[in-house]
Amino acid sequence: MSLFELSGVRVVYEGRVVLDLPRLAIEENTAYSLQGPNGAGKSTLLGILSFLSAPHQGEVRFEGSAVRWTEPALRVLRRNVGLVEQHPVMFSRSVRDNVGYGLAIRGVDKARRNHLVDEALDLVGLSHLAEVYAPRLSGGETQRVAIARALASRPKVLLLDEPTASVDTHNRVIIEQIVADLRDRGETTVVLCTHNRSQAAALCPEVIYLEDGRLAARPASNSYAGQFVAEQGRTWCRIAPLFCVPVPQCGPGRGRVVIEPGAVRLSVAEEPGLNRGALTRIRLEDGLVSLSVDLGRPLHVQMGLAEFKDAGLEIGALVQVEIPAEAVQCFLGS
């Protein structure tokens, strides 16, 4: 039984279909990325999954039961879901009171509430800010407290709406780590709405990709698990015996790398070697040439038509792959 089952769900605004999902299932304790261009229907879907807005047509089932879109029924359902908006708002109280709000309205006694709040704040690394007046927090801290607030009540689903879109690198890394921890623990379903494909590929094994309100094919992504090793003063991630990428910003250990397809350069090679492989696919997509190279693992590359013609590439050709360090994002431990 899936956690969420949506069938025939349609949302129409001013005559325009903004969401049209013949069928969508979201499984328990799995991490999903929710991707798609602006206006694809991501926020509308999050609204339905958080039980804040009803679809105009279709059925939504939660834990096998059809959702009744009445206020008393929704209140019970909403207590299973935590939603963190892109720009979360803090109640004008302390961080502790904010994080404990969901517990307080559930009638959890103060001692237990404090314990759960401390746990949640510990998870996001902000225990030291428990007594601070919440609206004074920075953007990144606010985002982390909002995650703690959503998690304190132990929801079955955590919905994150672009949680790292407007935070600094330090907070982004911490938030990504929180999502990775939740995914690894496997106790919560996570739906991460993001425009960052690399982040989505690294954090979420499952993808919901929307285009014009409809489910669309998952776009190719270069996401690989590998071992980070330091050699000759530089750190590399070895993905396959002949597939190695530079990861200067990551220390040694196991992790995951995501390679930006548009930043990879290809040239014809004479003989096999490191980062050399056969060109297995060439396709024209939206004015860009999409290619696949077999390096022991498939590597997706995108380039302009003029650049493709200049490179003289053809199917089956042996190519040298150049991967600049700035094209690689690494995620340690994930």
The residues binding other proteins (CB under 8 A) are 50, 52, 71, 75, 78-79, 81-83, 85, 87-89, 91-92, 101-102, 105-106, 133, 135-136, 149-150, 153
197 three-state secondary structure: helix
Closer CB to other proteins, 126 or 250, in the complex:
126
Closer CB to other proteins, 10 or 79, in the complex:
79
CB 75, min distance to other proteins, A: 6
Closer CB to other proteins, 152 or 327, in the complex:
152
CB 12, min distance to other proteins, A: 20
DSSP 138: -
CB 33, min distance to other proteins, A: 20
285 three-state secondary structure: strand
CB 105, min distance to other proteins, A: 5
Closer CB to other proteins, 1 or 52, in the complex:
52
Give the C-alpha distances (Å, rounded to integers) separating 124 from 37, 141, 193, 204. 29, 9, 19, 19
CB 51, min distance to other proteins, A: 8
What are the residues facing 234 on neighbouring strands?
Answer: 231
Closer CB to other proteins, 87 or 254, in the complex:
87
CB 82, min distance to other proteins, A: 7
What is the 3 state secondary structure string of 72-116? Answer: HHHHHHHCCEEEECCCCCCCCCEHHHHHCHHHHCCCCCHHHHHHH
> What's the full length of the chain, in residues?
334
Which tokens in the block code for residue 155? 């929801």
CA distance 284 to 289: 5
Closer CB to other proteins, 98 or 198, in the complex:
98
Q: Order the strands of the 157-161 sheet from edge to edge.
A: 81-84, 157-161, 189-193, 31-35, 206-211, 214-215
CB 45, min distance to other proteins, A: 15
Closer CB to other proteins, 9 or 90, in the complex:
90
Give the C-alpha distances (Å, rounded to integers) separating 120 from 95, 142, 162. 11, 14, 20
